[in-house]
Amino acid sequence: MVTGVQGVRAGDTARPAKGRFQRPGLRPVAITGLATYVPPHVLTNADLERMVETSDEWILQRTGISERHIVDKGVATSDLAKEAALKAIAQAGLTPADIGFIVVGTTTPDMMFPSTACLLQHKIGASNAWGFDLGAACSGFTYALTTGAQLVASGAHEHALIVGADIMSSIIDYTDRTTCVLFGDGAGAVVLSAAADPGFSLIDFECEIDGGGGPSLCMPAGGSLRPASHETVEGRMHYVKQDGQAVFKFAVRKTGEICARLLERNGIDTSELDLLVSHQANRRIILSAADRLGLDHSKVVINIGKYGNTTAATIPLALDDAVADGRLKKGSLVLLTSVGAGFTVGCVLLRWGI
């Protein structure tokens, strides 16, 4: 259990914090818009039973997933991102022309180049924005949020669009039951702006990588090391490959560690948290990490059951669901956390302001 000074409860004005987003010379930054989008087609566990040797019971016991959304042929990551982005911008009371910076966290760009951020900028008409894609796998949203916040905090831009979007079905081998049951497609977006009230803003972040974990979760071919060839295609090397046990152990340990470190640095007791919003990779990983923190399960958002692992989109999807069911409200103290291929690890502490 992390110990520290007591904080305020949801709905109250937060005390000043000492996090990296609140250092002298930086403007406080808040999430001012949030929206998500998933394609309408649903792939259930029953559907997968007819495609590969698996069962609904096996999938539920090991992952907590019941169904996931899958795109139709010809739909790209930028298409999903567009739907979420336009809604998030509208919720923030802005137009696309108000956006100065776009960062898209994705593992499944439309193509190698141009970036999905370029394609998205054109599709939504954000004529005054520049941006790029960010590759951090399942930590794509936390890394993108951290990156965009720096530009708003510094005063370089008034508004930034942060997107986490992936079409994982495009790189999943539906003959491999160890991976095909896990993933779905989706997108989420938030708008970051200078906070009207510093008490409701991003507080702090912590990120790290461990490149030694690269082989445990990767797509072996398609890059400069192994360009596409008959050999790589026949070897099914353009699909996600995973050492499930190695990923599970690392994710549980690192989620607990990075969350505890961030809370301790800000003098916040675990009991003060209103919500833990973790990357939705596996129900057991999320609850195991919560137990390590000593956090009551009622404060943990889990929606993997209806979406599966949408990689960079899982955290905004979870935030959106938490808003819808009333668990996330203005003043909530929230911890976002993720572990992804690389390995990448990210954590963001914030006071919700919308």
Catalytic residues: 138, 279, 309
- Three-class SS of residue 124? helix
Tokens 């990551």 -> residue: 77
Distance CA 339, CA 193 (A): 26
Distance CA 345, CA 12 (A): 30
Q: Return the number of other C-beta atoms located less than 10 Å from residue 254's C-beta.
A: 22
- Provide the CB-side half-sphere exposure for 242 (13 A, CA): 22
Reference 168, options 307, 264, 266; nearest CA is 307
Q: How far apart are the first and last CA of the chain?
A: 29
What are the phi and psi torsion angles at 145 (to 5°)?
-60, -45
Residues in contact with 159: Cβ distance below 8 Å, sequence separation at least 6, in sequence order: 32, 92, 94, 98, 99, 100, 101, 152, 191, 192, 193
Tokens 């152990």 -> residue: 249
Q: DSSP letter at 111?
A: S
Phi-psi region of 339 (alpha: psi -120 to 50; beta: other; left: phi over 0): beta
